[in-house]
Amino acid sequence: MHYLWQSIMKFYSTKHEVERVGLKKAVLESLPADNGLYMPEEIKQLPIDFFEKAEGLSFAELSFQFARVLMQDLVPEEVLRKIVHETVNFDAPLISLEDRLHCLELWHGPSLAFKDFGARFMSRLMSHLCEDDNAELDILVATSGDTGGAVALGFYDTPGIRVTILYPSGKVSMLQEKQLTTLGKNITALEVDGSFDDCQRLVKTAFLDEDLSKRFRLSSANSINIARLIPQCFYYLQAYMSLKNKSKPVYMCVPSGNFGNITAGLIAKRMGLPFAGFIASNNANKVFYNYIETGVYQPSKTVATISNAMDVGAPSNFQRILDLYGGAHEKIAQDVSAYSFDDQQTEAAIGQLHQQYAYVACPHTAVAYLGAQSFLQDHPDAQVVFQSTAHPSKFLDSVEPIIGTSVELPAALLKLKDRPKNSIPVSPDYAEFKAFLLSRG
Ligand SMILES: *Cc1c(COP(=O)(O)O)cnc(C)c1O
């Protein structure tokens, strides 16, 4: 029960042009009407004895203790514990390659990429928030490959939620397609005869369509949802707790595209996680790197690279980072260093990791490794944890020719390989797409 003088935390838009909203609206709506991004009104400090008490806790329980502080009393404690434990039901091991160089593996979840954290948490939170509503929630997502897999697997079998995924026919890898099309139950895959942009246009138009919003409760599961940021804080904490030697200041290097991952790290730091700083490692899409160097934020056209989940020319979470630091470039640059690497350097890094450490990395992980290496050269007293954000088997075509051997497929992927694909072909024409949505009721 809430007493009048206890106000429940709300969420504001970074553009401040709309009213503050509660958790349910922020999560279901995803994007405020003023095109800003939702942020929590208050970022609470971890209690002084938090780290002492956290010693020896499982990753899931540690995450719950952290989530309680961040989410205050927005969700009843036992519900939150269940959501977090169901989210964090896989490990995030820290592997030390050198005294000062560690790798945090974030791909032990079902889709083999760090986006599992966000998708699993968001699905369960949405399900809880809609528990007392009568209507089913309809999630529409457009994917160019990776996000769709995490969303499909994250929402699979979640009560009260139906998921429809649109992907461009022939433009995702075979294994990515299997992740989208072999689940069944509450997940439907629509194979669009067109590009990723067509998929996105269909989804965006559907959200604005009144006929559809009268019939269905539409929601998106896109990367800017505040519910994705919350669980992404957990592994920063886990990494810190896993480090045996904390005598040298700890930095986290994050391979960044839309900057949702690193923004979660910055929130965790604001709450009191004692990271000395962060390193944003960019591929050739270096809008953020340019911002750190010059103080000028200039979105640009996307460049295609082998670390394609980071091919972003206008990182959406940049607004959140600005908001966290009151727009002060020098304060952001104090906490976040940035680097940018091209495909040639990324390929060389995949080779080096394999030769020197017998470590097989995906291209995104290799970009993070490069950032860590450069930072360590510039900061001889630091230690760096770099994130491994996807399993290399998701990027066989880039990785195998470099390391000269085949990448072992994890059991989760092997299982999918022989399952029959089940997708519904749709045309990129909006009227036809709409008719399809209406026809299935
Ligand atoms: C999405 C993704 C990234 C980039 O994360 P952001 O939160 O968008 O910065 C990095 N690596 C992999 C494998 C990804 O899927």
Indicate the top mutation candidate among 289, 310, 320, 350 to test ligand 1's pocket, ranked by most ligand atoms within 8 A of CB.
310
More confident of the two residues 81 and 441? 81
Looking at residue 440, what is its pLDDT?
87
Look at residues 231, 242, 380, 361 and name the one whose alpha carbon lies nearest to residue 307: 361
Looking at residue 144, what is its pLDDT?
78
pLDDT band at 9 (very low <50, low <70, confident <90, very high): very high
Average pLDDT of the residues in 150-171: 92
Chain Cα centroid distance, residue 161 = 20
C-alpha 364 to ligand 1 mean position (Å): 8
Indicate the top mutation candidate among 224, 282, 364, 365 to test ligand 1's pocket, ranked by most ligand atoms within 8 A of CB.
364
CA distance 102 to 106: 13
Looking at residue 1, what is its pLDDT?
47
CATH 3.40.47.10 fits 90-110+229-409, yes or no: no
Look at residues 289, 261, 269 and name the one whose alpha carbon lies nearest to residue 370: 289
Average pLDDT of the residues in 85-102: 98
Ligand 1 closest atom vs CA 258: 8
C-alpha 375 to ligand 1 mean position (Å): 20
Is ligand 1 within 6 A of the CB of residue 187? no
At 203, list the tokens: 């989804």
CA distance 89 to 97: 25
Does the pLDDT of residue 4 top 70, yes or no? no
Indicate the top mutation candidate among 389, 393, 395 to test ligand 1's pocket, ranked by most ligand atoms within 8 A of CB.
389
Least confident of 60-69, 146-155, 301-310: 146-155
CA distance 50 to 364: 32
- Its sign, for the CA torsion 46, 48, 53, 59, is positive
C-alpha 275 to ligand 1 mean position (Å): 21
C-alpha 255 to ligand 1 mean position (Å): 7
Outline where DSSP puts E strands in 59-145: 94-98, 101-105, 137-142
C-alpha 135 to ligand 1 mean position (Å): 33
H helical segments located in 115-243: 115-129, 146-155, 174-181, 196-208, 210-215, 226-232, 234-242
Domain ranges for the chain: 90-110+229-409
Does the pLDDT of residue 305 top 90, yes or no? yes
Determine the 3-state secondary structure of 298 from DSSP.
coil
Q: What share of the chain is helix, strand, coil (3-state, %, to 5)?
A: 45, 15, 40
pLDDT in tens, 409-419: 888 788 888 89
At 359, list the tokens: 């470590």
Average pLDDT of the residues in 362-368: 98
Is ligand 1 within 6 A of the CB of residue 255? yes
Is ligand 1 within 6 A of the CB of residue 366? no
pLDDT in tens, 20-51: 999 999 999 888 989 899 999 999 999 999 99
Looking at residue 224, what is its pLDDT?
87
C-alpha 291 to ligand 1 mean position (Å): 19
At 343, list the tokens: 């495909």
Least confident of 32-46, 141-155, 333-347: 141-155
CA distance 359 to 357: 5
CA distance 172 to 145: 5
Q: Around Cβ 377, how many Cβ atoms within 10 Å? A: 8
Nearest 10 degrees: Cα torsion 177, 147, 275, 353: 30
CA distance 236 to 378: 23
Looking at residue 261, what is its pLDDT?
97
Does the pLDDT of residue 375 top 90, yes or no? yes
Average pLDDT of the residues in 376-403: 95
What does pTM read for this prediction? Answer: 0.93
Average pLDDT, the chain: 94
C-alpha 431 to ligand 1 mean position (Å): 33
Ligand 1 closest atom vs CA 257: 9
C-alpha 216 to ligand 1 mean position (Å): 31
Share of the chain above pLDDT 90, in %: 83
At 153, list the tokens: 């697997």
Query: What strand order describes the sheet that includes 424-426?
Result: 217-219, 137-142, 161-168, 187-192, 424-426
252 sits in the region (left: phi over 0; alpha: psi -120 to 50; else beta) called beta
Q: Are strands 101-105 and 94-98 parallel, antiparallel or unpaired?
A: antiparallel
CA distance 403 to 405: 6
Least confident of 53-67, 204-218, 421-435: 204-218
Is ligand 1 within 6 A of the CB of residue 258? yes
Is ligand 1 within 6 A of the CB of residue 256? yes
Q: How many CA atoms lie less than 13 Å away from 405 in the CB half-sphere?
A: 10
Strand partners, 137: 161, 217
Is ligand 1 within 6 A of the CB of residue 386? no
pLDDT in tens, 169-225: 998 888 889 989 999 999 999 999 998 889 989 998 998 899 998 999 988 887 789
Does residue 203 contact residue 164 with C-beta atoms inside 8 Å? no
Is ligand 1 within 6 A of the CB of residue 155? no
Ligand 1 closest atom vs CA 364: 11
More confident of the two residues 14 and 410? 14
Does residue 142 contact residue 196 with C-beta atoms inside 8 Å? yes
